[in-house]
C-alpha cells in the first residue's frame, strides 16, 4: 500500500472529542419512580464506599492524516491511537489496570488500505463506511467502545462506572456516567428540579427508550462543588434497563451515595467536579500510554518512505 503523510493536519495530536451517542430519538418516561406532580430533589442516603469500584475510560488521538494512493487516486485516511483502561478503587488503593492500546488506520472500507507497520507500532486497518468525517469518527468511536467493553469485561467489580453512556453494555454492574448534556431528557414540567438539586441530591428516576440503544434507567445527580450556573456539577447516570423500577431505584440510591466522594476540585481538574479523580487519573495514564505523538508521526513518515 502506498501512502503519504499529510504535512498539515489541523487535528494533529488533538484528542478529538467524539460526540456522545445520546440519541435524539430517545423518549423519556419520567413517571417510573414518582408522578410528575411529586418530582422534587431526593436526598442522598448516607455516603457509602463500595469495597471495590471500577471506572472505565478511553481516549483517542489522531497521530497523522494520510493519503492512500491507488491507481492515481488519493483517498484520505487517519492514523489514530486509542487506549482504554480501568481504575479500580478500594479503600486505600487506586490501581490502574487492564489498559489496552490500539492503533488504527481508519480508511473507507472500499479502499485498498491494509495495516501500516512502523518502527514503533502497527496501525491495524479499521474500515469506515465512507470518507466523510462523520463516518471516520463513527469508526473510531466504535473501535474505542470495543476497547472499553473489553476492559470492563476484564475487571470483576460490583460497580463499574463508564465514562460516557452505556452504549449497549448490558451487564448489571454497569453504570453510565454522562458529563456533557447535549439534550435534557426531562419533560418541561419538571426541568426546574434540576436547578433545585443541592449537592449530592438526585432527581427521581426516568426510563429512556425508543432510540437505537436499548432501554436504560436514568437520573440526574449533582456533585458537590462550586455552582457557577444552574447545571454546574450535574451529571446524568444510566443503568441497564433490566429488572423492576424498585430494584433500579435501590441501585440508583447506592450509586448516588458512592460517587460524590470521587468528585474532583477545580484547582486540580479543569473539568471539576464532573471529571472524577479516578477518571482524570486514568486519562493521564492513558495519554502516557499512547506514546509520544511526534515519535509516532516520524515513524509513519519513515514507513511512508519520505522521512528520516
Positions that interact with other proteins (CB under 8 A) = 87, 89-96, 261-262, 267-268, 277-278, 280-282, 284-285
Closest separation in Å from C-beta 277 to other proteins = 5
Closest separation in Å from C-beta 153 to other proteins = 20
Measured from the CB atom, the residue of 160 and 282 that comes closer to other proteins is 282
Measured from the CB atom, the residue of 160 and 249 that comes closer to other proteins is 160
Measured from the CB atom, the residue of 279 and 304 that comes closer to other proteins is 279
Closest separation in Å from C-beta 269 to other proteins = 10
84 near 270, Cβ under 8 Å?
no
Measured from the CB atom, the residue of 238 and 283 that comes closer to other proteins is 283
Instruction: Report how far residue 277's alpha carbon sits from residue 265's, in angstroms, rounded to the nearest whole number.
Output: 9
R_g (Cα) of the chain, nearest Å: 21
Cell 436499548 maps to which residue? 214
Closest separation in Å from C-beta 47 to other proteins = 13
Task: Reduce the DSSP state of residue 8 to 3 states and report it.
Answer: coil
| CB within 8 Å of 271: residues ≥ 6 apart | 179, 264, 280
Measured from the CB atom, the residue of 70 and 265 that comes closer to other proteins is 265
Provide the terminal-to-terminal Cα distance of the chain, rounded to the nearest Å: 19
Please count the other Cβ atoms lying within 10 Å of the Cβ belonging to residue 41: 18
Closest separation in Å from C-beta 86 to other proteins = 9
Distances (CA, A) of 64 to 59, 107, 108, 146: 16, 12, 16, 22
Q: Are strands 160-163 and 53-70 parallel, antiparallel or unpaired?
A: parallel
Measured from the CB atom, the residue of 162 and 277 that comes closer to other proteins is 277
Please count the other Cβ atoms lying within 10 Å of the Cβ belonging to residue 123: 29
Closest separation in Å from C-beta 91 to other proteins = 6
Amino acid at each position: 500500500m502506498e501512502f503519504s503523510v499529510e504535512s498539515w493536519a489541523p487535528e494533529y495530536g488533538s484528542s478529538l472529542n467524539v460526540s456522545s451517542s445520546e440519541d435524539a430519538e430517545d423518549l423519556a418516561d419520567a413517571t417510573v419512580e414518582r408522578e410528575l406532580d411529586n418530582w422534587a430533589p431526593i436526598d442522598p442516603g448516607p455516603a457509602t464506599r463500595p469495597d471495590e469500584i471500577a471506572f472505565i475510560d478511553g481516549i483517542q488521538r489522531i497521530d497523522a492524516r494520510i493519503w492512500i494512493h491507488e491507481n492515481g487516486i488519493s483517498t484520505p485516511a487517519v492514523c489514530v491511537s486509542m487506549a482504554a483502561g480501568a481504575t479500580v478503587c478500594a479503600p486505600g488503593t487506586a490501581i490502574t489496570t487492564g489498559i489496552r492500546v490500539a492503533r488504527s488506520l481508519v480508511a473507507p472500507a472500499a479502499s485498498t488500505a491494509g495495516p501500516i507497520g512502523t518502527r514503533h507500532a502497527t496501525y491495524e486497518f479499521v474500515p469506515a463506511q465512507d470518507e466523510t468525517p462523520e463516518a471516520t469518527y463513527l469508526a473510531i468511536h466504535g473501535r474505542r467502545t470495543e476497547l472499553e467493553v473489553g476492559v470492563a469485561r476484564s475487571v470483576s467489580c460490583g460497580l463499574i462506572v463508564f465514562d460516557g453512556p452505556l452504549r449497549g453494555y448490558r451487564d448489571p454492574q454497569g453504570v453510565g456516567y454522562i458529563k456533557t448534556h447535549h439534550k435534557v431528557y426531562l419533560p418541561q414540567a419538571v426541568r426546574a428540579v434540576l436547578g433545585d438539586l443541592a449537592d449530592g441530591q438526585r432527581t427521581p428516576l426516568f426510563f429512556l427508550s425508543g432510540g437505537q440503544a436499548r432501554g436504560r434507567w436514568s437520573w440526574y445527580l449533582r456533585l458537590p462543588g462550586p455552582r457557577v450556573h444552574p447545571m454546574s456539577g450535574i451529571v446524568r447516570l444510566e443503568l441497564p434497563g433490566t429488572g423492576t423500577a424498585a430494584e433500579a431505584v435501590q441501585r440508583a440510591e447506592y450509586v448516588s451515595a458512592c460517587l460524590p466522594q470521587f468528585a474532583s476540585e477545580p484547582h486540580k481538574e479543569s473539568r471539576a467536579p464532573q471529571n472524577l479523580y479516578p477518571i482524570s487519573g486514568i486519562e493521564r495514564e492513558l495519554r502516557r500510554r499512547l506514546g509520544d505523538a511526534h515519535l509516532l508521526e516520524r515513524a509513519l513518515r519513515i514507513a511512508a518512505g519520505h522521512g528520516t
